[in-house]
Structure formats: C-alpha cells, structure tokens
Amino acid sequence: MSRPHAVVITGHAGAIGSALCRIFRAQGCYVVGVDQRRSAGSADCEIAADLSSSPLDDTVAAIRRAVDGKALRALVNNAALQVVKPVEALQPADWNATLAVNLLAPWYLTRGLLDLLEHSRGSVINIASIHGRLTKPGFTAYATSKAALEGLTRALAVELGGRVRVNAIAPAAVDTPLLRAGFAAGPSGLASLAAMHPAGRLAEPDDVAHAAAFLASDKAAFITGCVLGLDGGIGARLHDPA
C-alpha cells in the first residue's frame, strides 16, 4: 500500500501560499505550511517559524515530525521578504534578512529534508521572481536574492542529479492583496501594469500554484534545473520612449 503524499510549503499564509495549499490539497496531498503568521486553515498542519532566524534546525525537526509516515512529494520554498529602498538607504540588516529568507532558508530546508525527498523521489520548487533577471530601482536587495535563488536552483539540480529534481518558477506581478495595496492611491496604475503584459493581465496566485503542481508531478519527471518564466510575456517586451 502506497504512503500518502505530503507537500511542505513555506509562506503558506499569503495569497500565493494559500493558492499553493489549495491546489496541492485538491490533489490529495497532506500540506504542511511554514509561516510566521497563521492562516485560515489553508494547510493541514501549520508550523510557526521565522525563516530569517538561522539555523533552522528546530523548523526542520518540526517538519520532519509533521511528514512522518508520508512520502514527501515536494518542498515549495515560497516564503519571501521584499525590501524596497534606494541603494543609499539599504542597511546591512536589510541584506541579512533578505538573504536569510530568500536564499539561505531554501538551502537550509532542502538540506534538512534531502533524505526524505530522495527516498520518495520528490522535488524542490523555489518561487523566484522576474526580478532575478529584470528589475527596477529600489529592488536591489530583493533582485539580488532572487538572482541568487535561480543560481541555487541550477547548482542543486546539477549536484543532486537523479536523486532530487530542483526547479524554480519566476513570476512577474501577481495579483495579490499586497500588490493592490501598493496601488491604493492610484488604482489606474494597476490597470496600466496589467496592460503592459502581452497576456493582457496580471498573474493570479492560481497560475503560480498550477505551475508548481505540474513541476512536482510525474509529468515533469525530465525537468530539473529549470527556471520557468511565468511572466505573461512581459519579459519579451521592449520598453522604450518611441
């Protein structure tokens, strides 16, 4: 008799995290959520953790207890910290916190759960960002961390070979309450941003979740070391004053 599948999702209390939980649960997976905040029941098991505090040994131990007896199908490193400041205002604490959550935590959790992932032929899915390739002023720390996360994805895929697949998803703007709050003073700006995407709209949290579910599935068995651009075509668009 096969064991039930488990999926670990960090940052599960946010809009994208909640969508990830819902999609994987709809597939019959037992979802373990890791977040500083509590959610409205989006995960089957919630683990409170501050991913900016390293080492994460206690968090890894809690996750291992939660998935005990289940096949670990995927680790989805979705949690992220976005510091938006001009480069002159960035402080070492901003860099330390950003890199801890966006880069070191995915590495730490992957390392800590590696044997479980390998045993169940599971995979790691890192939620990167279009900012890893294409960014704008004020996002220096965030963009650097996401570019490094793409590098970590490729390096782990090579090092782990056929043991564990490692992929990333790099979304452009995703329609979340946090994004909308940034346009509260000028809602027309949100519509303009959506129109800039050749797809004619922003990404939805479900778009990210469905992509993650595909990468975790057997249908993606030959995909590893991939950074999937989920950008509605905006990364292919030339922006100039003409």
Q: Dig out the tokens for 138 from the structure.
A: 């004020």
Q: What is the pLDDT of residues 8-66, one digit of tens each?
A: 999 999 999 999 999 999 999 999 999 998 887 799 999 999 999 989 999 999 999 99
Q: Quick check: helix, strand or coil at residue 46?
A: strand
Q: Supply the pLDDT for residue 40.
A: 73
The CA radius of gyration of the chain, in Å to the nearest whole number, is 18
Q: What is the pLDDT of residues 89-140, one digit of tens each?
A: 999 999 999 999 999 999 999 999 999 999 999 999 999 999 999 999 999 9
Sheet holding 123-127, edge to edge: 45-48, 30-35, 5-10, 71-77, 123-127, 165-171, 227-230
Segment holding 24, helix H or strand E: helix 15-26
Q: Supply the pLDDT for residue 146.
A: 98
For each of the domains in the chain, give its residue range(s) and CATH number, in order of start.
5-233 (3.40.50.720)
Q: Dig out the tokens for 185 from the structure.
A: 């003073």
* DSSP secondary structure, 147-202, as one string: HHHHHHHHHHHHHHTTSSEEEEEEE--B--HHHHHHTTT-THHHHHHHHHSTTSSP
CA distances to 122, 238 from 241, rounded to whole Å, are 47, 10
**Which letter does DSSP use for residue 54 in this model?**
S
Cis check for the bond before 4: say yes or no (omega within 30 of 0): no
Q: What is the pLDDT of residues 164-223, one digit of tens each?
A: 999 999 999 999 988 888 887 777 889 999 999 999 999 999 999 999 999 999 999 999
Confidence (pTM)? 0.96
Could you give the residue numbers annotated as active site?
A: 142
